[in-house]
Structure formats: structure tokens, C-alpha cells
Amino acid sequence: NAGVTQTPKFRVLKTGQSMTLLCAQDMNHEYMYWYRQDPGMGLRLIHYSVGEGTTAKGEVPDGYNVSRLKKQNFLLGLESAAPSQTSVYFCASRPMDRKNYGYTFGSGTRLTVV
């Protein structure tokens, strides 16, 4: 099925541990985004990418790094996890074409940092 796949779906980390969240899309979309969702705050943009090999910071980038070595994959890394990074993470992609302006979201990754 075409869409955005996030792995893993759930993860528990200890403070200071590192991990990488993987987002993969098979729709040949140019733009990809990582959001975090926290209660009462909606979704906030962490990092985004407008094409292979390019990434940029969003609203809440501190503590995260990203890479987009292949067009279909967008990785979100936590080098040293903190309890404040406990959240639900969503990846999204969209085409550059305005005619098909729409976002496809992954099913989310629930991360708990203890």
C-alpha cells in the first residue's frame, strides 16, 4: 500500500540513550517533515526536508538531528534522549506539485523517555 511508514511504532528509552526513527514513503514526494505531538499543543514541526540531501530546522529542532540520504527516507535521530522528548512523533510527506497539495502522514511513533 502506498503511503508513509514509520518504524518503530513504540519505543521506551532511558535518559541519555540514542535512537533513530525511520520514515519511508513510496509516493516519490519531494517534501518530508517530522512533527511531534504533545497534549494541548497540536503538532509542531521539528525538522523538514525539501529534497534528497537537504534538511532544515523547524520550530522545535533542539535535541534532534535528521538526514535524508535517499529521497524516500527521512531519519530522525535523538543523540541523547531526555524525558522532555517523550512524545508522539509523526512523519509526513507531500508532493511539490500544488495541484496535488496534500499531506500524507505516517501512523506515528510513541516514544517514552524514562
Partner 1 sequence: AQKVTQAQTEISVVEKEDVTLDCVYETRDTTYYLFWYKQPPSGELVFLIRRNSFDEQNEISGRYSWNFQKSTSSFNFTITASQVVDSAVYFCALGLANAGGTSYGKLTFGQGTILTVHP
Where on the chain is the footprint of partner 1 (CB under 8 A)? 31, 33, 35, 40-45, 48, 50, 56, 58, 88, 90, 92, 94, 96, 98, 101-103, 105, 107-108, 110
The answer to whether 23 touches 33, Cβ cutoff 8 Å, is no
Q: Measuring CA to CA, which residue among 60, 87, 58, 91 is closest to residue 73?
A: 91
Q: How far is the CB of 36 from partner 1 (least distance, A)?
A: 11
Q: Measuring CA to CA, which residue among 34, 47, 49 is closest to residue 89?
A: 34
Q: How far is the CB of 49 from partner 1 (least distance, A)?
A: 9
Q: How far is the CB of 19 from partner 1 (least distance, A)?
A: 19
